[in-house]
Amino acid sequence: MAFTLYNTLGRELQVFRTINPGKVGFYGCGPTVYTYAHIGNLRAYVTHDVLVRSLRRAGFEVTHVMNVTDVGHLSGDNDEGDDKMVKSARERGKDVLEIAGFYTLAFFTDTERLNIEQPDVVCRATEHIGDMISLIRRIEANGFTYFAGGNLYFDTAKFPSYGELALLQLENQKAGARIEVDENKRNPRDFVLWFTKSKFENQALVWDSPWGKGYPGWHIECSAMSMKYLGEQFDVHAGGIDHISIHHTNEIAQSEAATGKTPWVRYWLHNEFLVLDKEKMSKSSGAFLTLQSLIDAGYDPLDYRYFLLGGHYRSQLQFSWESLEGAKNARKSLVEKVKALAARAKGGRGNAPAAGNAAGASKDAGTYLEAFNRALEDDLSTPRALAELRGLLRDTECEPGAALAAVLDMDRVLGLNLEDAAKSPEEEEGVIREIEALIAERSAAKKAKDFAGADSIRDSLKARGIILEDGPSGTLWRRA
């Protein structure tokens, strides 16, 4: 079976064909770092992680690029409202870059706890202003812009296929548009490429540009950075469904206007929302749950990862504490089954469940693995993939060694740390002794001012999924 993905552009399942055979350029819109990510945002990044891991499993060489928005994102995606970063900095009495640094770290702490693999390139908007200015100059040179009231706008009327991704009814757009606050726009859907200080008198971060001192619009950063790292056309772009009608629509318009090449991106993937009490979980409303709040309530971040994998990324997922509790119990039972299987595979008796496979005749491990792969290749069906894993663990007729190898192989995509579960108590003790010895070695290196040596121990442990946290009572460690 070929790898298929649901492409928002065209609204259909399509066989995945890359621009360069065997290689995938993937850009996922990253966080705006003005506050903590909420658990809905984290659904988007678990989706990206499953996509990347599934493509790699299917044999593709993937370059995953993610931006970090630290300038230019207003509370309304349509150039309305406050600048999210500036407002947050003002409220917290800090400067914008301090805020960005703090929440960027918090974001990557969360993604690490959720076993989300680090993208190959993480790029900050404030470090790519020159790339954005160059791209805007190309758009301008091609005749797609106008300057009004101190801002440079993209003129959507000049781009005939504007709105294709979102299936916008352009002829109705003026009548149907919300009351527009920006009187400089010729058309409600036009958007700012470059703001000068006309919008916010106290904008903290401004740069020189051909249009005056100012700062970029939010959409342009994703076009400029994705093209810088992936080329003028690439394979996959992803984000939540809220980005279809404005952010991604505008990214397409400005990118194709700059290069004249179409399609800019072949496949557009959008995850549905995680909802709380049937409402969109919104970062700007302030009432949202963070991963830390789940941890504080006694849940492991992987309980949440398991909960997310239980839903298909294109279905809305309703969050409740009861369903998180259900995921916690299901993951616990999974871990226990993996422990029992590992014991049987190593020749012990384990805790073998009652005989046979509840679902029917026993299959060999390879059959489960095949079905698991097919599920992922079928538009990333993690619920079906999880069902195959559970089926395999229920099937006591399956040869334990092969079954265990298949389970661990499946976990390369699921990211549930099942390898740890498979370790015997003796092996686990050995690992703990080794980690503690390395921590002692690192402390000695630090005392001797050998900071490079100390960092290299920290990094080598990190590469094994062991995170060190220095505190007043010494160094503590935990698994990522």
What residue ranges bind ligand AMP (CB under 6 A)? Answer: 29, 31-32, 40-41, 43-44, 239-240, 242-243, 271, 273-274, 280-281, 283
The H or E element that residue 346 is part of is none
Closest approach of ligand AMP to the CB of residue 247, in Å: 8
CA distances from residue 167 to 161, 208, 351 in whole angstroms, order as listed: 10, 37, 55
Q: Which residue minimizes CB distance to ligand AMP? A: 240
To ligand AMP, the closest distance from the beta carbon of 107 in angstroms equals 9
- Residue 30 or 163 with smaller CB distance to Zn ion: 30
- Comparing CB distances to Zn ion, the nearer of 255 and 381 is 255
CA quadruple 164, 32, 413, 332: dihedral sign: negative
* 415 contact, one of Zn ion, ligand AMP, none, CB 5-8 Å limit per kind: none
Smallest CA-to-CA distance from 360 within 332, 329, 330, 398 is with: 398
Report the nearest approach of ligand AMP to the CB of residue 278 (Å): 12
**CB of residue 232 vs ligand AMP: minimum separation in angstroms?**
23
Least distance to ligand AMP, CB of residue 34, Å: 8
Measuring CA to CA, which residue among 81, 86, 92 is closest to residue 69? 86
Alpha-carbon radius of gyration of the chain: 25
Residues numbered 262 to 291 that lie near Zn ion (CB under 5 A) are none
Of positions 220, 222, 376, 461, contacts Zn ion by CB under 5 A: 222
Q: From 29-37, 174-182, 205-213, 317-325, give the range in contact with Zn ion by CB under 5 A.
A: 29-37
Tracing tokens 């230019």 back to the chain, one arrives at: 72
279-280: strand order across its sheet? 279-280, 274-276, 317-319
What 3-state class would DSSP assign to 476?
strand
Pick from ligand AMP, Zn ion, none: which does 222 bind, CB < 5 to 8 A by kind?
A: Zn ion
Residue 242 contact, options ligand AMP, Zn ion, none, Cβ 5-8 Å cut-off depending on partner type: ligand AMP
Around 387, how many Cα atoms within 13 Å sit in the side-chain half-sphere? 11
In terms of CB distance, is 123 or 380 closer to Zn ion? 123
Dihedral over Cα of 83, 87, 89, 90: its sign: positive
Instruction: State which residue, 221 or 379, has the beta carbon closest to Zn ion.
Output: 221
Choose among Zn ion, ligand AMP, none what residue 214 binds, the Cβ cut-off being 5 to 8 Å by kind. none
Q: Give min distance, CB of 84 to ligand AMP, in A.
A: 8
Minimal distance in Å, beta carbon 247 to Zn ion? 6
State how far Cα 417 lies from the chain centre: 19
Residue 320 Cβ, how far from ligand AMP at the closest point, in Å? Answer: 14
Q: Which does 248 bind (CB under 5 to 8 A by kind): ligand AMP, Zn ion, none?
A: none
345 binds, among Zn ion, ligand AMP, none (CB under 5 to 8 A by kind): none
* Size of site (CB under 5 A) for Zn ion: 2
Dist. CA 44–CA 237, nearest whole Å: 12
**Nearest-10 Cα torsion for 297, 302, 305, 306:** -100
Binding partner of residue 32 among Zn ion, ligand AMP, none, CB cut-off 5 to 8 Å per kind: ligand AMP
Closest by CA position to 71, among listed 80, 82, 83: 83
Instruction: Report the nearest approach of ligand AMP to the CB of residue 187 (Å).
Output: 24
**Token pair for 75:** 């509370």
Cβ 4 vs Cβ 15: under 8 Å: yes
Tell which residue, 337, 480, 309, 363, has the closest CA to residue 421: 337
Q: Please report, for residues 80, 218, 244, 282, the alpha-carbon distance to residue 76 in angstroms, rounded to integers and kept in the order given.
A: 5, 11, 14, 12
Q: Does 65 bind Zn ion (CB under 5 A)?
A: no
> Cβ(195)–Cβ(215) under 8 Å?
yes
As measured in angstroms, the least distance from the Cβ of 33 to ligand AMP is: 8
Q: Say whether residue 29 binds Zn ion (CB under 5 A).
A: yes
Q: Quickly list DSSP for 442-462.
A: HHHHHHTT-HHHHHHHHHHHH
189 binds, among Zn ion, ligand AMP, none (CB under 5 to 8 A by kind): none
Distance CA 233, CA 263 (A): 7
Q: Which two tokens stand for residue 401?
A: 């060694």
145 contacts which partner out of Zn ion, ligand AMP, none, CB within 5 to 8 A by kind? Answer: none
Considering beta carbons, is residue 24 or 224 the nearer one to Zn ion?
224
- Which one of the spans 40-48, 96-104, 110-118, 215-223 is the region binding Zn ion (CB under 5 A)? 215-223
Range in contact with Zn ion (rule: CB under 5 A) among 140-148, 218-226, 274-282, 405-413: 218-226
In the complex, what is the shortest distance from the CB of residue 67 to Zn ion, in angstroms, rounded to a whole number?
A: 6
224 binds Zn ion, rule: CB under 5 A: no
Residue 49 backbone phi and psi in degrees, to 5: -65, -45
Q: Is 74 in the site for Zn ion (CB under 5 A)?
A: no
Return phi, psi of residue 361, to 5°. -65, 150
List of residues contacting Zn ion (CB under 5 A) = 29, 222
